[in-house]
Copies of this chain bind each other. A is one copy, B any other.
Amino acid sequence: MGPVRPARTQAERRRHTRQALLDAVLLQLEAGESFDALSLRSVARAAGVVPTAFYRHFESMDALGLALVEESFRTLRAMLRDAREGLPPEQVIHRSVEILMEHVRQHRAHFIFVVRVGYTGNVVLRHAIRGEIRLFTSELATDLARFPVLREWTTDDLQMLAGLLVNTMIATVGATVDAPVAAPAAEAEIARVAAKQLRLTMLAVPHWRSERSPR
């Protein structure tokens, strides 16, 4: 076992530095800095490494930002997919809101980053976030297509409905990130309204006539 040890320690150290760089960015954003105003130098310093060490982990600040975007969405998407697959329809909304709120609460700094960066001038990261949201919406549309009542809907209408549900989720994330930290009453209120809005939206479904547009 002896000879393997130093290599593992190095991998661990590598992972640790990478995480320290990501955390340094999240911390500075939580403190109110804008991502585009952060310098690679200051991020490296906050993570306790020299600037050249930064490049062993990320090609640029944007590359680090993209890693954060990816991290923010990956688990959430998987969790919501599982909820939609494993639960009876009437429980899906309630459980999805629970998962969303819990995830945002546990990864608050990530979502502060996503919400802020989604609206700043940096085209690379904005584009990445739009892409994640599009994928999210598209996966939801696919799952919706399996509900018997939605089987006859056009793809365009399924995307429209998924978009509406995702808009509600985005507004919920925005409100959660804006709410004071550790304010369970405020969070419960946000979740309550979101669940109602999602239920109301789904109530419309049987009454919508989805038609192929004439060409």
Contacts and interface: CB of A to CB of B under 8 A. Distances in A.
A196 B207 CA distance: 13
Q: By CB atoms of chain B within 10 A, which of A37, A121, A130, A208 has the most? A: A121
A27 B180 CA distance: 33
B120 A34 contact: yes
A118 B31 CA distance: 16
A144 to B, nearest CB: 13
What number of copies of this chain does the assembly contain?
2
A203 B206 CA distance: 9
Main secondary structure of the interface of A (DSSP, over half): helix
Contacts of A115: 119
Interface in A149-177: 157, 160-161, 163-164, 167-168, 170-171, 174
A163 B119 contact: no
Contacts of A31: 121
Contacts of A170: 167, 171
Contacts of A126: 178
Contact of A119 (B118, B196, B197, B203): B118
Given A32-B121, A121-B32, A196-B157, A201 B116 contact: no
Contacts of A193: 160, 163
Contacts of A197: 160, 163-164, 167
B157 A164 contact: no
A31 to B, nearest CB: 8
Contacts of A33: 121
